[in-house]
Structure 1
Amino acid sequence: MKRNIKLNATRFIAGAFMIGALATSCTDLEIESTDSVITGESFNGVLEPTSFLDNMFNTLNGQIGDQANIFALQEVTTDAAIIPTRGSDWGDNGIWRQLHQHNWLTTHQFIQTAFLQWNTTHFQAAQVLSDLSVNATAEDRANAYFLRALGMWFVLDNWGQVPVRDPELSLFEDPIVLRGAEAVDQIVSDLNQAIEQLPAGAPMTNNNRPNKAAARYLLAKVLLNKHIYLDTEAASADMNQVISLVDQINGEGYDLQEGYFDLFRDSGDNETIWFLGAGVSNRIWNGLHYAQTSERDNTGGGWNGFATLSSYYDLFEGDPEINEEGSGQEERRGVVPTSGEPIGACDGCTDNNGDGIADASHIGLGFLIGQQYGADGTPLEDRAGAPLTFKRDFQDGDGNSSLINNDETTGIRLQKYAARYGSFNTHEIFFRYADAHLMKAEALFRSGGDATPLVNELRVLRGATPLGSVGAQELIDERGRELYAELWRRNDLIRFGQFTADWELKAPGAVGDETRNLFPIPASQVTLNPNLTQNPGY
């Protein structure tokens, strides 16, 4: 029987997760004890909604900018990212390896933390929307509708069920749980409210808060994936609405822009729909070697962790063994400089040591493979004195394919944000028009149309050869080429039925196991709320 869910904000959202969040002390999840976050009889509304929302957005910066938790769940569980253990580095009791191998448990730290974080996001937004929060302005409510939808969507997409509760009810009452159509309908309703109430905004402005275009983008994302949540075929009406939403975003001035890696600088452009004030240092340093340093930030070098599979690198046009300047790669694959650039040739760079070379301009962009170089052109070495050559394969000391006992040089590295522009920039792209453009192409394909012209429009702009025709495989591959390290790979692979496919170093028993399409509900939450049911396979 379908449940009648009230859309009035005072009859919405929280969950047993709040009991866990309030009863235990965890540094990065700690909730401040004020009457703005207490539920039940003590809840009198959020007293200062604007500052409360400021804190929510600041928290969101950390959630998205982190290399663990939701980022790890979206990227490290796929063919796009892998973190081998090199000696004792990045061992962490197997927490990274388990994600890539698809043998995570219900107690996995990142899964537990992300579940709490995103449920807290939509619960706190519901508090702002409560009728008791009498000081909330129209702008406050618009932001809260958007954040409530965003939090609910992340929970639905990753766990398949969303615990919800009226903020005014006691924490000891079991929260209801939304699944499937009920959850989608609530998210869509909130996003329609956000679209109506958020400001219009425009490209080249300070889009670090959501506007109408951001809400339309998220609604398109929800509708594109709706058939996955409902376990049905994609509906033409939903696909037509995706196309319409993207056209509306385009009509506001957002469009594709030349200069792929310039998009990831700390500056405005026509493609960025929404960026976060999150520092980009994680995206820069977690894959670079210890010997790759930056005078600009006075860093001691990279952290030598994150890498990608050679099969992912091979999605791009170009030589499979080299990515140096002049080797004929497509733009998105990037380049490995053989030395630093003169400071005069690098707009926005610094020269802190006065040698005439732009700081960190010897560090490449895109996919780093083969020999890496210092600022003066000297080939770099690893700590054992061997050439610093990033390799395609992951091997242990005996030459066996392995995720453990790797040396310092295994794995192709990814760099989307350039060290030369500074790792302390707080400008991480979250929603981008190129993604919307490809969503439109996919919606057209799923409703029986031809996606080829739209995909080729993007490919030509990125310096890639146009395709003769575009089907499902070409669409998922193009999304992989355009959107790597932007938190969308897991979502895309599931929608195209490829998340359970075989790839290098995945556990053999996980291949074809569709229960991996959803993460487990943390065991503690199932115990606290009997309305939650553990997902199949756990």
Structure 2
Amino acid sequence: MQRNFTRTLGMLALAAGLAAASSCTKDLNQAPDYSANAEVVYSDPAQIQQVLARLYATFAVSGQQGPAGQPDITGIDEGFSNYLRQYWQVQEVTTDEAIIGWNDGTLPKLNTDQWDANNEFVRATYDRVFYEIALCNEFIRQTSDANLSKRGLGSDAANTVRVYREEARVLRALSYWHALDLFGGGPFATENDAIGTTPQYKKGTDLFTYIESELKAVDAAGLLLAPRAVYARADKAVCWTLLTKLYLNAKVYTGTDRSTDAITYANKVLGAGYTLSPNYSWLFLADNDKSAAKNEIIFPITFDGIRTQTYGGMTYLVHAPVGGAVQPAAIGINGGWGGLRTKPTLTTLFPGGATGNADARQTLFFTKGQKSSVDTLTLFSNGYLVLKYKNVTSTGAAGSDAQVNGGSGNFPDTDFPMFRLADVKLMYAEALLRGGSGGTAGTALDQVNEVRARSGAAPLAAVALNDILDERARELYWEGHRRTDLIRFGKFTTGYNWAFKGGVPAGKDIESFRTLFPIPNSDRTVNTNLPQNPGYN
């Protein structure tokens, strides 16, 4: 099975086409509405593969036709509603790494850490997470061994579908981890719950235990593909990386440190044959699925300028930071959106700030016509730009949409590296410094300096725990990790501030309850089993 597993199938009008839903959680125990009978779809391995492809594509696309017109969820503009776009925003614009200048709806409240339970961007994030879970539940339900036998699938076909089912379990666990990390819990259902019942609430510690047991059961079953067997599949290394992340953050979720367990699974990933891309910037270009960057990427959200067209996802991340003196053609697009910038709290982590060149990672900042400080949220010239994601290849060619559509360049080919090797190396180092044991891949300093060496940064003579937080910012900025990192290090709400945190230009401490987002009031209205997180009403 080749690259087109997720790229080309993701935007097909599937035989099992999924209907749009205004809110996912009230339908969490319901089967999606199919335009073809499920008995027909799930009797055909080719159509089953297409439905699985849609589970992957739900992270990338926003509806049934692309780039707009038949949204999966309603209540917000379809382009805004995209899973990756919303997840990236809640992880980045709420922190010291990114700021957005638009005044759409309640976006400024998200941007300044002042959201409430009616914020439509928080609600869209929540709905996306549970929409994906609902789709995975139905796929797993329909591909049970009993159903495969009843529908007469031969042994070879049934075995192939069993692998698909395990992948769906990993994708569901990923979304449940997002629910745990962002909301501290939520409505809970699996394939075993009766369709039509109202989901019960599962709190953080219980949800952590479920995700852990589910991923370990999948790993023990041994059906997942080997690491790197097929690009963009939820293989064994994806399962191990997710367990590493779960355990590294376990003290936040449960109050119990699980650093040794994080090391156990990081060891597995570090021994799985991945290698750092020889060029940092290649990780974020239009051919990162073909260049040496693919050997570092553990789990991408894939995009194709022709077949996965959306106004969220990588279209957003490529276009939104472009404006001012930036030439859009150099980024492989037809124009910028003039929204995203960064804050000096990020650029000052590098020697020489955004204008230095001692570290290849800082060469992706753009300073011409921009000021370092952010004094006015809506003024695009306030804050340096991050030109990390581009729709050009490592050889300088434009992406496919720019080539096929007469230079349009609206939609990028660039894949989003949700999990990659450098992240695992830094997690391994952090877990060691937090007192974990069993490391077989060298010392914390070894792993940090390997990451730094790739970008030409000077090696560190020693590394302490707080150095890891800074190094994660330098290596992983704008990749959707920062909020979780700051919370784990105890620096998200108090004791460390950045521009417009709490709504004031200099930044200020915010309420401790903001380490979690609220359960949207729109869903609590339809599911009275859902409590509200403390601090919200």
Deviation digits for residues 206-229 of structure 1 (CA, Å, limit 9, x no counterpart): 511111111111111111111111
Q: Which residue in 2 is equivalent to 1:527?
A: 525
Using the TM superposition, give the Cα deviation of residue 145 of structure 1 relative to its aligned residue in structure 2, in angstroms: 1.2
Check whether the contact 2:83–2:129 (CA below 8 A) recurs between aligned residues: no
1:103 aligns with 2:91: no
Moved more, 480-489 or 526-535: 526-535
After superposition, the C-alpha distances for 1:427-471 in whole angstroms (9 at most, x for unaligned) are 221210000000100110111676333212222232112223322
User: Residue in 2 aligned with 1:145?
Assistant: 169
Q: 5 Å matches for 1:375-454?
A: 389-394=369-374, 401-404=375-378, 406=379, 408-421=380-393, 422=398, 424-447=412-435, 451-454=444-447
Q: Residue 290 and residue 66 in structure 1: after superposition, are their counterparts in 2 closer, same or farther (change >3 A)? A: farther
Q: 2-side partners of 1:116 and 1:162: how far apart?
A: 11
- What is the match of residue 128 of structure 2? 117
Corresponding residue of 1:208: 232
Q: Offset at 1:301?
A: 2.2
Cα deviation 1:17-54 (Å, max 9, x = unaligned): 546569xxxxxxx96545889xxxxx999665322211
Residue deviations 1:478-536, cap 9 Å, x none? 00110111111111111111111321111269614111000000102122222211001
The one of 333, 338, 361 equivalent to 1:304 is 338
What is the one-letter code of the residue matched to 1:116?
D
Q: Kindly, what percent of the aligned residue pairs are identical?
A: 30
Distance verdict in 2 for CA 1:299–1:253, change over 3 Å: closer
Q: Secondary structure at the match of 1:431?
A: strand
Matches within 5 A, 1:88-487: 90-93=102-105, 95-130=106-141, 131=144, 133-134=147-148, 137-165=161-189, 167=191, 173-195=197-219, 196-202=222-228, 206-230=230-254, 232-234=255-257, 238-265=258-285, 266=287, 267-269=290-292, 270-278=295-303, 280-289=314-323, 292-295=326-329, 299-318=333-352, 320=353, 323=355, 327-334=356-363, 366-369=364-367, 371=368, 389-394=369-374, 401-404=375-378, 406=379, 408-421=380-393, 422=398, 424-447=412-435, 451-487=444-480
Shift in CA distance, 151/65, structure 1 to aligned 2, threshold 3 Å? same
Q: Which moved more, 1:181-190 or 1:303-312?
A: 181-190
Aligned partner of residue 275 in structure 1, secondary structure: strand
Confirm or deny that 1:71 pairs with 2:64.
Answer: no
Give yes or no for contact 1:174–1:529 (8 Å, CA) kept in 2.
yes
The amino acid across from 2:387 in the alignment is Q
Does the aligned pair in 2 maintain the 1:391–1:409 contact within 8 Å?
A: yes
Deviations 1:178-231 (A, max 9, x none): 2233211211122123332211032xx65111111111111111111111111x
Instruction: Flag the 1:513–1:44 CA change in 2: closer, same or farther, 3 A.
Output: farther
- Whose radius of gyration is greater, 1 or 2? 1
Query: 1:80 — aligned with what?
Result: 97
What are the Cα deviations for residues 129-161 of structure 1, in whole angstroms up to 9, with x where unaligned? 224643662112111111111111111110011
Structure 2 CA distance, aligned partners of 1:529 and 1:44?
33
Does structure 2 conserve the Cα–Cα contact (< 8 Å) formed by 1:308 and 1:414?
yes
CA displacement 1:397-454 (0-9 Å, x = unmatched): xxxx3324x2x42210111123443452142212100000001001101116763332
- What residue number does 1:59 align with? 58
**CA–CA distance in 1 between the matches of 2:421 and 2:243?**
14
In structure 1, C-alpha distance between the alignment counterparts of 2:278 and 2:25, rounded to whole Å = 48
* Cα separation, 2, equivalents of 1:495 and 1:225: 6
Structure 1 residues 44 and 273, CA gap change in structure 2 (3 angstroms): same
1 CA distance for matches of 2:22 and 2:84? 26
Residue from 492, 516, 520 that aligns with 2:485: 492
Match of 1:514 among 489, 512, 515: 512
| 1: CA distance, partners of 2:186 / 2:22 | 11
Bigger mean CA deviation after superposition, 217-226 or 53-62: 53-62
Return the letter of the residue paired with 1:275: P
Closer, same or farther: CA 44–472 of 1 in aligned 2, 3 Å: farther
Do the aligned partners of 1:45 and 1:133 also contact (CA within 8 Å) in 2? Answer: no
C-alpha distance 168-402 of structure 1, shift in aligned 2 (>3 A):
same
Instruction: Tell me how far 1:108 sits from its aligned partner.
Output: 1.2
Q: Is the 8 A contact 1:292 1:301 kept in 2?
A: no
What amino acid maps onto 2:527 in structure 1? N
Per the normalisation by structure 2, the TM-score is: 0.75
Aligned-residue Cα RMSD (Å) equals 3.1
**Per-residue deviation at 1:78?**
0.7
Structure 1: which 5+ residue stretches go unaligned?
A: 1-14, 23-29, 38-42, 85-89, 335-365, 372-388, 395-400
2:500 aligned to which of 505, 510, 518: 505
Q: Structure 2 unaligned segments of length 5 or more: list them.
A: 1-20, 63-80, 152-157, 305-313, 400-411, 438-442
**Letter matched to residue 197 of structure 1:** L
What is the CA–CA distance in structure 2 between the aligned matches of 1:296 and 1:454, rounded to whole Å?
34
**Code of the aligned partner of 1:104:** W
* Counterpart-to-counterpart distance in 2, 1:148 and 1:67: 15
Write the letter of the residue equivalent to 1:427: D
SS in 1 for 2:250: helix
